Structure 1
Amino acid sequence: MERKSLVVVFSILILLLAAQEVVVKAEAQTCEKPSKFFKGPCFSETGDPRCDVRCRRDEGLLSGFCKGLKCVCTYAC
C-alpha cells in the first residue's frame, strides 16, 4: 500500500512539472521595433503616453515606450 502511494504521488509530481513546462513554452515572446508614426523626441523613461498611443492605436502593436530619445513599439514575435 505504501509503495502504491509513493508511485501515485511521484506520478502526480511528474505531471505537474510537465504541465508547467508546457505553459512556459506557450507564453509569447515580445520583440521591439522603432515606431513608424511617432514624431519628435521621446523623453519619459517610465512611459510616454503619446508613444504608447501611437504604437497601440496607429500601428496596432502591443505597447510603446521611450528608449533613449526614440519611441519603441513592442509586438509579439
Structure 2
Amino acid sequence: MKQKFTAINSIAKRHGIDIKTASLQFAEAPSMVSAIIPGARTAQQVKENIASMKVQIPADFWSELKAKNLIAQEAPTG
C-alpha cells in the first residue's frame, strides 16, 4: 500500500493535484455515491474539503493512474 500511495502521490504532484483532492473526488465519482463524509476536526479542514471538491482534475491524471494499474481500468473518475 505504501508503494501504491507513493506512486499515486508522485503522479498527483506532476499533475499539480493534491492527493487528498484526488482521493475525495475518486470516492465521489461512482454514480451510486450520493454523498461522502470526509473527516474534519476543524473549520479550516471543512473549508479545504469543500475547495478540494471544486478542483478540476485533468483527465490525463486519471488516465495515467489507469495506465499504471494504480486504479482499476473500469473505475469511474468523474
Give the greater-gyration-radius structure (CA).
1
Write 1 or 2 for the structure with the bigger share of strand. Answer: 1
| Relative contact order higher in (CA < 8 Å, ≥ 6 apart) | 2
Write 1 or 2 for the structure with the bigger share of helix. Answer: 2
Q: TM-score range by the shorter chain?
A: under 0.3
TM-score, normalised with respect to structure 1 = 0.23
